[in-house]
Structures are given as C-alpha cells and as structure tokens.
Amino acid sequence: MSIHATALVSSQAEIDPSAEIGPYVVIEGKVRIGARSRVLSHACLFGETEIGEDNIIHPFAVIGHDPQDLSYRGEPTSLVVGHGNTFREGCSVHRGTPSGGGTVVGNDNFLMANSHIGHDCRVGDSVILANGVLLGGHVRIADHAFISGNVVIHQFCRVGRHAMLGGASGYSKDVLPFCTGSTGKINQVMGLNVIGLRRAGFDADQRREIKDAYRTIYLSGLSVSQALAELDRRPLGDLAREMVEFVRASRRGICRHAR
C-alpha cells in the first residue's frame, strides 16, 4: 500500500494494498478504496463511501461529502462508486439523503473539472460530464450519455442513454434516449445523436427505427399521449419501445422539439 506521509487517513478507512494515496489527501470516516485506485494530492474523501477498482481521483476533488439538503441532520448515508472512473480537478460527488437511497456512480465514467453530482443521483456507465456540469439531487443519467460543458440539470430529471446535451443548456424536463439537446437553450432537443449512434455501432435499421419513433413523438403534430397511442398500434422494435416507455415513465414531462 502506498500512502504518502502527509496524507491524513481515518482509522476506519479500508484501503486495498495496491491503492495509492497521494500527498495531503484527507480520508475521513468509513471510506473503502478498491484495488489499483489512485487518490492524488489534496483530494478529500468522506464516508460512508465505497470506491471500486481502478478509479483515479484528481487534486481537490471532494468525494462522498454531506448532501446539500437543508433537511439533512448528519444521518449515515452512502455513496457507491464502481470501477474505472476518472474524477478530475475540483469534481464533487455527494452522498445521498436518508430517504433517497444513496448516490450511485457506475463504471468507466469521465467527470471533468468542477463537475458536480448531487445527492441521490444515479449515473450509469460510460457517461461523460464535461467541465462545470451540475446535476441536482435525484437526477438519473443513463449509460453512454454525453453532457457538455456548463449544462445544468434540475433535480429528479432523467437523461436517456446515448443522449448528447449541448453546452450551456438547462433541463428541468426529461431528455429522451438517443436525442441531442440544443446548445444554449432550456428544455429543448433538436434531433437525434446520429454521429454518436453510428460510433456506438447502431446499424442503419436501428437508426431508422429510432428516427421513426422520434418523428412520431415530436414531428407528427400529435400530442404526447396521442403519439404514444399511435406508436402502441405499431409493431415496435426494442429501441423504439425503449423511447416509448421512457416517455410514459416521465414524471416531469419531456423536452420539447426546437423549432
């Protein structure tokens, strides 16, 4: 185990022998750090937090601190981080609240400088949060989403998988899977993440299926409920059905199409 002499590590912490703890790191409480994970200088970790294997936490990141919730009274709450994640400089990830079930970050995510994951969020796998992204409490980000710089997402919102959100935009409604959010706009999508879908290996038939569902939801002139009813009458593939069920499960409503 490599723990720098200047690091302050709680006696309650459990650190894998292959992990690396850099200079002036502070680890407080019941923090568990898995194999080959690296915590670089001046980062701060707080328990109850579980960090998996092969993560790297850069300087001045704050991982597992108290939730920013006025109702929080110091109760034990949790953050669980998977494997292979990168937390860049100044990144902050908060533990959950007692009633929220805890904060969870999956695997192979890349969180750039000064991005923030609020309490009780669920972030999937292979997600990118660019510089300055802010996720309010209870936000859900599905696998392979790309959130550009300085995007703000309101609490309890959802972003579907393979969505790509343009920079400096804001969302208080849900963003459907496979869609592209409009740069600099509020609650608007402008089409499909076509390049991202191609790079992810979606073939022409799959992209056509997604496009047909998008057109029905956004470009048919039907209301959302009418569009869902129309799609329910069709023989849908798995991807179109995923979009339909995402819309149907929305509690905050979905973003509108940019016109």
Q: pLDDT for 4-43, tens place per residue?
A: 999 999 999 999 999 999 999 999 999 999 999 999 999 9
pTM above 0.75, yes or no: yes
The closest alpha carbon to 118, from 40, 198, 51, 64, belongs to: 64
Residue 200 has a pLDDT of 97
Asked whether 118 and 100 are in contact (CB, 8 A), the reply is no
Q: How confident is the model at residue 97 (pLDDT cuts 50, 70, 90)?
A: very high
Q: Of residues 64, 69, 82, 120, which has the active-site annotation?
A: 120
Res 1 pLDDT > 70: no
Secondary structure of residue 69 in the 3-state scheme? coil
Q: In the chain, what are the domains?
A: 2-141 (2.160.10.10), 198-257 (1.20.1180.10)
Token pair recorded at residue 160? 């579907």
Does 96 participate in catalysis according to the annotation?
no
- The Cα–Cα gap between 27 and 7 comes to 8
* Residue 137 annotated among the catalytic residues of the structure: yes
What's the mean pLDDT in 209-234? 97
The pLDDT score that the predictor gives to residue 236 is 96
Annotation marks residue 120 as catalytic: yes
Dump pLDDT digits (tens) for 35-85.
Answer: 999 999 999 999 999 999 999 999 999 999 999 999 999 999 999 999 999
The alpha carbon dihedral of 52, 128, 237, 207 has a sign of: negative
- Contact (Cβ atoms closer than 8 angstroms) between residue 91 and residue 111: yes
Quickly list DSSP for 83-95: SS-EE-TT-EEE-
Q: Active-site residue among 137, 149, 160, 181? A: 137
In this predicted structure, the answer to whether residue 206 has a pLDDT above a threshold of 90 is yes
CA–CA separation, 129 vs 134, rounded Å?
9
Find the mean pLDDT for residues 113-117.
98
Q: What is the predicted pLDDT for the residue at 259? A: 77
Per-chain mean pLDDT for the chain: 97
CA 232 to mean position of chain CA atoms: 30
What residue type is assigned to position 258 of the chain?
A: A
Catalytic residue among 58, 119, 138, 144: 119
